[in-house]
Every structure is written in structure tokens, then in C-alpha cells.
Amino acid sequence: MLNVKDLTGGYDEKHPIVKGINFSVEKGQFLGVLGPNGSGKSTLLKAISGTLPFNQGNVQIEGKSREEYTAKELARKMAVLPQLHTQAFSHSVRETVSIGRYPYQHSWLSTWTDEDESAIKKAMESTGILSYEKQLLENLSGGEQQRTYVAQALAQSADLLLLDEPTNHLDIEHQRKLLDMIRLEVVQNGLTVLSIFHDINLAALYCDRLLLLNKGEIYALGEPHEVLKEHFIKDVYHTTISTYPHPILPKPQMTLMPEIKGEREESVPIKAEDIKIRDEYVELHTSSALKAFSSAVHNAGVGWYQYFVNRTVDAEYMCDDAHDELKEYLMEKGFSPTNTVAMMTAVPAKNAVVRQFTSHEADIVVVVTAGVGNAIDIASAHKREDVFHVGTINIWVFINGILTDESFMQGMIAITEAKTKAMYTEQIKDIVSGTFATGTSTDSVLIAATQSGPFYEYAGSATAVGKLIGRGVYETLCTALQDYKKAKEQD
Ligand SMILES: Nc1ncnc2c1ncn2[C@@H]1O[C@H](COP(=O)(O)OP(=O)(O)OP(=O)(O)O)[C@@H](O)[C@H]1O
């Protein structure tokens, strides 16, 4: 659809701003242009659209050089949203959007057709400005003015859209609506879009490919995961970022790594005596947030939290929505639901086993509540269809140190393996299959790190911290299982 070949140009011949630019955008593709301030993004867009002559190169639209189109033909092929600046307006919203239909007029407004009318209506509807179509542009907010100009470009019904920061001034609802709408046009109607973005996350989320400009030259061009690399961003923007996956789409996202020192206080190391055994729950409150990774009932997954709760419920506890019920409970007890990870057990809180393990290279605290009424052999679980009740092994491991994503995962593996070994040592069996149980049907695990102190790149069983996790969980769980068996014998 769009072919840019060896394009070099700028505002005077001697000092080109963009140099040797080569890329193409296929029909039905969305290309995002990224780059720091002054890298030449707007200049490139102006050179492609023809508002700025170029010194060298060629711009082709549908295989034909741009110069071969008449002005009206070109306007039917390509619509442009330039970077907007404050200016005096004297048009209404409707009049401004109607200008987008200019390429379809033979003489201004005398040939206004139903098609023109429906194009401007659709453009105003999809940008959410229809309700103020009669207002003067100068009386609108920056975001409303921006949406009016986007509507004007859309009303042009062109096959190729060139957009210079279309989400400028827009709040997140209107960013999402505008980009959803453009994406839908791309996917369903084969619209081709080239758009400049400052927001790297939005570009990665909505674009098929990204072009990263640096000092007027292409630094990287490819799918978002090929361009959004930490070292590329560091090179071009002189800023350290960390990337992470979008929760539901296969798109990379990034966050800044601030360079200010002292933003986060050094965490106080966690000690066994910090774990408080209350009547109804086991609790840890830390002075600064820990990075936690868990399968808890409340706030499972990865996050930063200061409160950790393992709540004892009745063995017959049944609830339609345990998440909501537990959240209510936490609020009733004065815990902040957004700063607390919580799980449940039928084991009395007083039976929790708390141990601290320290070696010359690592320091951890392990907390276990163990009930094995629901013990199950994972290899035979598919043969069971009975209803499971609360009766769990809940394991917390607090690590005084910094864990990487890999070490969090390896820590989880170490915990699970140590649990299985402890179950075997204590001869816990699956009551249905009669084979050795590997856990219970409702176990929860939490691993949380202070993220200050020693750095653990890995936490598998070959590492000092992994060895301590293995030993700590094994010994603490064996004790908890022995206590459980004694309590059952006394019942
Ligand atoms: N009208 C102009 N006349 C002369 N030089 C200009 C003009 N407009 C921009 N420039 C220069 O061209 C360079 C690239 O500007 P351009 O606007 O293309 O960058 P950009 O990547 O779009 O930046 P931003 O992210 O700040 O919008 C800058 O150094 C700028 O000073």
C-alpha cells in the first residue's frame, strides 16, 4: 500500500533531518512510528504526505509515485492528521469534520450527498463528538478538538491514514475508544495506518509493526516484540525500562526504571517472631512491601504487599464466592484489600509451624499450616470425582533478599518438591487410590521476597537459597504433618 524508498529530506537541502528511510506498509497493516523528541517522526510524516518536499527518494502509494496523483485523487487515497498546535478557530465541529469530504466535492457543498452525510456522521459518532457538532471548536477542550480533527481525517474515507500522535490530549477512555476503532477498521476493512506515538505501550498494543527512529534514521523495524527490547530503548531513549507481557494479548509492554536513589527504603529483614498467631488467622505485617508470588485466594499472582493472612475457616466452609467473602472478612478485620494477600485453611491458626532457616548465604522464614484430610495423589487425581473441602497445606516462604522472575519460579518448584518429599516421609496417602499423596486438592503456596539485600539470580536446588527453601519447607512441613497426625490421634 505504502512504499517509502531511500527517503532523505528536511527543512533545507544541506541539513537533512530524515536520512535513507526505507520501509513499506502492507494494506490492512498498522505501523507505529516511535522515537525521541526531535528524531524526525513528524518530518518523516510530512515528507510522506507531501507537505514537505524531500531531497532524495520516492514515496509510492499502491505502486504509483505520489506525484502521479492529482491533489483530489491523493486526498481520496490518503488522509493526514498533523500534529496539532493551539490556533484560532472559527468553524463549528460539524464544519471542521465536513472539510474531510472536500476530495469528493465537485464544487464546495453544492454536491453534498447522502454518502458525505453518512461519512461525517459515522466519523463524529466513532470519535464521540456528535453531541457537540454545533459548537465552535475554540470552545472545546484540547482532547475534544483533537477528536474533531481525527474525525475530519476519518471522514475523508481514505485507504491510508497518516496520524501524528492521534491520542495527544486524550484521556484513557478516549485513547482506548479511538485506537479500538482504528484497529477495527484495519482488521475488518483493510485500512492501512501509519501513526506516530509517544506512548510506547499503546503503540506496542495496537500496532502490527513498529518503526523506531533515532537521529533521523531507522534504528529498528519489526513486530512489537522485536523492537521493544530493553537495550534498544536504552540506546535510543537513554532510559532503562523493564518489559513484561500484556495480561491477555501477546504484546510486550514496558515500564520505566526510575533512577532516583532512596525511592524505596531498605526492607527490614523478616524474622520468625514477626509472624503473629491470632485466634482466627496467621498474620505477617511488614514495614515495607514485599514482592509476592502466590496461588492465594485473595490477590493471587504477582504483586507487592505488606500484609499476609492465612485465615482459619470451619472444615465445612462452603461459599458461592469465596473471593468476595474473604475480601469482606479482611476489611472487617481492618486489612487493606489492595495491600493484603490472603488464603484459607481448616487448620487452627495455633497449629501453624513457623521456622527461620539461616545459612551463610541465605536467610528465610517458613510458615506452614497442614491439614491432609483431602490428601491426593496428583497422578491418580483424574480417577476422583468427589467434592473437595477446605483442608489444605498452605506454605509461605519469606526470603530476605532479591529474587529475579526465574528465582521466584525456581523457588516455587523447590517448595513443591519439598512438600511432596515431606508427604512421602510422613507416609500420607490418597484415601481413594491408596497411593502416596503428593499434596491436597486445595493447597496454596506463597513466596515473597524483601527485594533488598543479597541478590539471588537463581533459586533452584543447586543454589544456596534453593537448598535452604528445600530444607526449610521439608522440615517445617514434616513437623506440621506430625502435629496434625498427633491431633487426629487425640480426636
Ligand atoms: N519547520 C521547521 N524548520 C526547521 N527545522 C525544523 C522544523 N520543524 C522541525 N525541525 C527540526 O527537525 C528536527 C526533527 O523534528 P520533528 O518535528 O520531525 O521531530 P519529532 O521526532 O516529530 O519530535 P517530537 O517528538 O518532539 O514531536 C528537529 O531538530 C527540529 O528542530
How confident is the model over 141-195, as pLDDT tens digits? 888 888 888 889 899 988 999 999 988 888 898 889 889 888 988 998 899 999 9
Closest atom of ligand 1 relative to the 45 alpha carbon: 18
Confidence of residue 386 (pLDDT cuts 50, 70, 90): low
pLDDT tier, 13 (very low <50, low <70, confident <90, very high otherwise): confident
Residue range 199-225: mean pLDDT, rounded: 97
pLDDT at residue 88 greater than cutoff 60 = no
Q: Evaluate: CB of 216 within 6 angstroms of ligand 1.
A: no
How do the domains of the chain map onto residue ranges? 2-256, 272-490
Interval 217-251: pLDDT, tens: 999 999 999 999 999 999 999 999 999 999 999 99
Q: List phi, psi (to 5°) of 355.
A: -140, 145
Please tell me the distance from the alpha carbon of residue 176 to that of residue 194, in angstroms, as a whole number: 17
Grid cell, residue 212, equals 523506531
> For residues 70, 73, 76 and 77, what is the CA-based torsion angle, rounded to 10 degrees?
-90
**Residue 330's pLDDT band (cuts 50, 70, 90):** very high
Of ligand 1's listed atoms, the one at least distance from the Cα of 35 is 21
Q: Is the pLDDT of residue 389 over 70?
A: no
What is the DSSP pairing of strand 252-256 with strand 241-245? antiparallel
* pTM for this prediction: 0.81
Does the pLDDT of residue 372 top 80, yes or no?
Answer: no
Angstrom distance (rounded) from CA 327 to CA 217: 53
Which CATH superfamily is 2-256 part of?
P-loop containing nucleotide triphosphate hydrolases (3.40.50.300)
- From ligand 1's centre to the CA of 26, what distance in Å? 27
Per the CB < 8 A criterion, the answer to whether 213 and 237 are in contact is no
Q: How far is the CA of 31 from the centre of ligand 1 (A)?
A: 20
428 CB less than 6 Å from ligand 1? no
CB atoms within 10 A of CB 38: 11
Q: How many whole angstroms from 220 Cα to the centroid of ligand 1?
A: 20
In angstroms, the CA 146 to CA 178 distance is: 11
Segment 319-323 mean pLDDT: 79
High-pLDDT (> 90) share of the chain, %: 64
Residue 373 has pLDDT above 80, yes or no: no
Q: How many residues does the chain have?
A: 491
> In the structure, what pLDDT confidence band is assigned to residue 396 with cuts at 50, 70 and 90?
very high
For residue 471, the model assigns a pLDDT of 97
pLDDT at 147: 86
User: How far, in Å, is the centroid of ligand 1 from the Cα of 9?
Assistant: 12
Q: What percentage of the chain reaches a pLDDT higher than 70?
A: 95
Grid cell in block for residue 32: 507505529
Distance 40 CA to ligand 1 centre (A): 6
Q: What tens digit of pLDDT does each residue of 424-463 get? A: 999 999 888 889 999 988 899 999 999 999 999 999 999 9
Atom of ligand 1 nearest to the CA of 44: 18
For residues 308 and 169, the model is more confident at 308
Looking at the CA of residue 12, tell me the nearest atom of ligand 1: 4
Residue with CA at minimum distance from ligand 1 atom 9: 43
Band (pLDDT 50/70/90 cuts) for residue 103 is confident
From 372, 401, 400, select the one nearest 388 (Cα to Cα): 372
Burial code (b: 16+ CB inside 10 Å, e: under 16) for 319-334 equals eeeeeebbbebbeebe
Q: Residue 156: CB within 6 Å of ligand 1? A: no
Range in 88-92, 307-311, 335-339 the model is least confident about: 88-92
Nearest in space to 150 (alpha carbons), one of 225, 217, 83, 66? 83
Considering only the top CATH level, what class is 272-490? alpha beta
- Is residue 380 classed exposed, middle or buried when 0-12, 13-18 and 19+ CB atoms within 10 A define those classes? middle
**Any ligand 1 atom below 6 A from CB of 40:** yes
Mean pLDDT of all residues in 310-316: 87
Q: What is the mean pLDDT of residues 461-466?
A: 95
Strands 30-34, 444-449: pairing kind: unpaired
pLDDT of residue 392: 87
Beta bridge partner(s), residue 429: 436
pLDDT at position 102: 83
Mean pLDDT of 289-310: 96
* All residues at 6 or more sequence positions from 228 whose CB lies less than 8 Å from its CB, including other chains: 200, 204, 210, 243, 252, 254
According to the model, what pLDDT value does residue 341 have?
98
Mean pLDDT over all residues of the chain? 90
Ligand 1 in contact with 51 (CB < 6 A)? no
Question: Ligand 1: distance of its center to the CA of 43 in Å?
Answer: 6
Report whether residue 142 contacts ligand 1, using a CB cutoff of 6 Å.
no
- Region 320-334: what's the mean pLDDT? 91
Confidence of residue 377 (pLDDT cuts 50, 70, 90): confident
| Residue 122, helix vs strand vs coil | helix
- Residue to probe by mutation, ligand 1, list 14, 15, 18, 42, most atoms within 8 Å of CB: 42
CA 42 / ligand 1 centre spacing (Å): 7
If pLDDT is split at 50, 70 and 90, which confidence band does 297 have? very high
Mean pLDDT over 287-306 rounds to 95
Q: What is the Cα–Cα distance from 138 to 347, expressed in whole angstroms?
A: 67
Q: Considering only CA atoms, which residue is closest to atom 2 of ligand 1? A: 11
Average pLDDT for 53-80: 89
C-beta 33 within 6 A of ligand 1: no
Q: Is 168's C-beta closer than 6 angstroms to any atom of ligand 1? A: no
The reply to whether ligand 1 has any atom less than 6 angstroms from the CB of 43 is yes
Max CA-CA distance within the chain?
A: 98
Amino acid present at 273:
E
Greater confidence, 443 or 318?
A: 443
pLDDT classification of 126: cutoffs 50, 70, 90 = confident
C-alpha 149 – ligand 1 centre gap (Å): 21
**Cα(412)–Cα(395) distance, rounded to whole angstroms?**
10
Closest protein CA for atom 17 of ligand 1? 42
